[in-house]
Amino acid sequence: MALANRDLVTIDDMSNGEIEALFSLADDMSASMGQQFGLCRGKVLASLFFEPSTRTRLSFEAAMHRLGGGVISAFDAGATSLAKGETIADMARVVGSYADIIVIRHPWEGAARVVADYAGVPVINAGDGGHEHPTQTLCDLYTLKKEKQTLKGLKIALWGDLKYGRTVHSLACALARFGATILFRPGPGLELPEHVVRKLTTEYGGELRRYESPGQQEEGQLLPLDAMYVTPSSPHQLAMMPDVSFQVELKTGVDALYVTRLQKERLAATDKPSYPVVNKKLLKGKEYERTLVMHPLPRVDELAQEMDGDPRSMYFKQAERGVPVRMALMALLLGVREAGQVGEGAGSRKPAYPPYRHDSGLRCPNQRCVSVQESETKYLKPEFLVVALEPLTLRCAYCEHDFHPGYVASTEWHEGRTDTRIYHRASSQWARKIKPENLLVFASEKEAEARGFKPDHLIGAAYRQVDQD
């Protein structure tokens, strides 16, 4: 289970066993924080923050100092000039030749993957746009594990902005992997995006139930009827419960309530008063006596100050534990400590989707993806995985954005007609007949035709229809 010389770009780069081994080392670090300064003597961390995140930066830098290493740091204006007029790959190669390990935050989604590909030293993603922030997830899981001894079977409610928060998406997937049950309680209009729901159920073995409330939400109630509910599909025990048991089960309480920042500007004006603040009143029921209150910080108003002294409040402990977790992570990636053998095997938890093999001019449609930035297209070859055929779904290998290309063709000019190149709607029956290894996809008719393909008769008919109108 060697983590040495590996990268941590997404939480799925580590197996459950590796994560548990990391937590065990974090316990050691925590127990003798002041005695670790010999571990990384002579080592150098490069801390590159191309977006403000002082808290995360300071946590990593403190962790490296605790390990006795040095830190070279670029942030804000300084970081901007680092990248001026040069590619992320060039920057990664140069800084990788100065330092033994790199931590990077960057606004472009997938940027940390590119840095990892070129740096030649271990790279830790400290946030790449809306994509991933895996060490935050590790800190969250570590706190849950420490307080509840296990992650399996925990019941965790995620609360607040479930739409834009990458923290909560990563945490949900990680909780599903460890067999926790998750209840989603979004702010109005801030529901979990469909692609995360799909991931949870198709990739992490979750079963989904959605409870639609017939009327209005009851104000100030922890979990209303229209919550979403993901249980681990194995064992199927919980999932087989009839709907009516939901409220019953809720009465047994939740193990943790994970609150996220509600950015006021994202709530409609009328919704503001209706969304309950997490405070002592909300959690006064006997069923919440042992409910941990968690938050990635910084908070605004969604979490009352009066909770600070409450023994259930974990948010400052989450921050504090970020240091030993990051010490353990860097010690493992640098190979100065070995991870003990814990649980299941080593390596990535990423599902093995088939790659999309052909260059049909396809670009990732995510405008914040590193692979479509002008400076990076000089050297980055777009890469995609085929994650589903119905509906046809491709995933960008950089930013992991899922999308549904509209048109397809085959490299085998199917049905024996090799003399013509025909393209079809991705939703058509023809599309389904194409073998994955032969698949060509196009974002638009224009793109397909620019590549020398002609529409099939259904698309053609629609054309003619338009012409006659």
Closest-CA residue to 44 (of 58, 26, 65): 65
Q: Is 379 one of the binding residues for its own copies (CB under 8 A)?
A: yes
Q: Answer yes or no: are the C-beta atoms of 237 and 209 closer than 8 Å.
A: no
Is 198 strand, coil or helix?
Answer: helix
Q: Which two structure tokens, joined as six digits, stand for 96?
A: 């990788």
Q: Is 305 one of the binding residues for its own copies (CB under 8 A)?
A: yes
H or E, element range at 330: helix 315-333
CA within 13 Å, CB half, 69:
25
Site size for its own copies, by CB under 8 A? 59
Comparing CB distances to its own copies, the nearer of 110 and 322 is 322
Q: Is 8 one of the binding residues for its own copies (CB under 8 A)?
A: no
Out of 7, 9, 66, 159, which residue is the one contacting its own copies (CB under 8 A)? 66
Dist. CA 269–CA 291, nearest whole Å: 30
Comparing CB distances to its own copies, the nearer of 35 and 247 is 35
Q: Is 446 one of the binding residues for its own copies (CB under 8 A)?
A: no
Select from 147-155, 225-233, 315-323, 361-369 the region that touches its own copies (CB under 8 A).
315-323
Q: Is 5 one of the binding residues for its own copies (CB under 8 A)?
A: no
Out of 95, 114, 139, 362, which residue is the one contacting its own copies (CB under 8 A)? 95
Dist. CA 294–CA 318, nearest whole Å: 8
Dist. CA 82–CA 228, nearest whole Å: 44
The distance of closest approach from Cβ of residue 242 to its own copies in the complex, given in angstroms and rounded to an integer, is 43
| Alpha carbon 255 to chain centroid, angstroms | 22
Q: Is 107 one of the binding residues for its own copies (CB under 8 A)?
A: no
Q: Is 31 one of the binding residues for its own copies (CB under 8 A)?
A: no
Dist. CA 400–CA 232, nearest whole Å: 23
Comparing CB distances to its own copies, the nearer of 99 and 441 is 99
Out of 2, 5, 81, 251, which residue is the one contacting its own copies (CB under 8 A)? 81
Quick count: other Cβ atoms within 10 Å of Cβ 281?
Answer: 12
The distance of closest approach from Cβ of residue 377 to its own copies in the complex, given in angstroms and rounded to an integer, is 11
Dist. CA 413–CA 406, nearest whole Å: 18
Out of 4, 24, 27, 58, which residue is the one contacting its own copies (CB under 8 A)? 58
Comparing CB distances to its own copies, the nearer of 42 and 214 is 42
Q: Is 300 one of the binding residues for its own copies (CB under 8 A)?
A: yes
Out of 6, 133, 145, 299, which residue is the one contacting its own copies (CB under 8 A)? 299
Identity (one letter) of the amino acid at 338? E
Is 413 strand, coil or helix?
Answer: coil
Out of 74, 192, 327, 385, which residue is the one contacting its own copies (CB under 8 A)? 74
Dist. CA 113–CA 364, nearest whole Å: 15
Select from 67-75, 177-185, 200-208, 394-402 the region that touches its own copies (CB under 8 A).
67-75
Q: Is 90 one of the binding residues for its own copies (CB under 8 A)?
A: yes
Comparing CB distances to its own copies, the nearer of 316 and 463 is 316
Q: Which two structure tokens, joined as six digits, stand for 181?
A: 């049950």
The distance of closest approach from Cβ of residue 45 to its own copies in the complex, given in angstroms and rounded to an integer, is 9
Chain residues 35-54 in contact with its own copies, contact rule CB under 8 A: 35-37, 41-44, 46, 52-54
Q: Is 225 one of the binding residues for its own copies (CB under 8 A)?
A: no
Q: Is 65 one of the binding residues for its own copies (CB under 8 A)?
A: yes
Out of 119, 323, 370, 386, which residue is the one contacting its own copies (CB under 8 A)? 323
Q: Is 378 one of the binding residues for its own copies (CB under 8 A)?
A: yes
Q: How far is CA 186 from CA 157, 165, 218, 259, in A?
A: 10, 11, 14, 10
Comparing CB distances to its own copies, the nearer of 62 and 388 is 62
Dist. CA 411–CA 54, nearest whole Å: 50
Is 28 strand, coil or helix?
Answer: helix
Comparing CB distances to its own copies, the nearer of 282 and 459 is 282
The string of DSSP codes covering 293-311 is: EE--S---SSB-GGGTT-T
Q: Is 293 one of the binding residues for its own copies (CB under 8 A)?
A: no
Contacts of 84 (CB under 8 A, 6+ apart): none
The distance of closest approach from Cβ of residue 28 to its own copies in the complex, given in angstroms and rounded to an integer, is 15
Q: Is 97 one of the binding residues for its own copies (CB under 8 A)?
A: yes
The distance of closest approach from Cβ of residue 145 to its own copies in the complex, given in angstroms and rounded to an integer, is 18
| Alpha carbon 225 to chain centroid, angstroms | 27
C-alpha torsion angle, residues 241, 177, 313, 325 (rounded to 10): 170
Out of 4, 82, 208, 282, which residue is the one contacting its own copies (CB under 8 A)? 82
Q: Answer yes or no: are the C-beta atoms of 459 and 428 closer than 8 Å.
A: no
Closest-CA residue to 426 (of 457, 391, 401, 459): 391
Q: Is 381 one of the binding residues for its own copies (CB under 8 A)?
A: no
Quick count: other Cβ atoms within 10 Å of Cβ 309?
Answer: 7
Comparing CB distances to its own copies, the nearer of 52 and 343 is 52
Give the binding site for its own copies (CB under 8 A).
Answer: 33-37, 41-44, 46, 52-55, 57-59, 61-62, 64-66, 68-79, 81-82, 84-87, 90, 93-95, 97-99, 297-300, 305, 316, 319-320, 322-323, 378-379
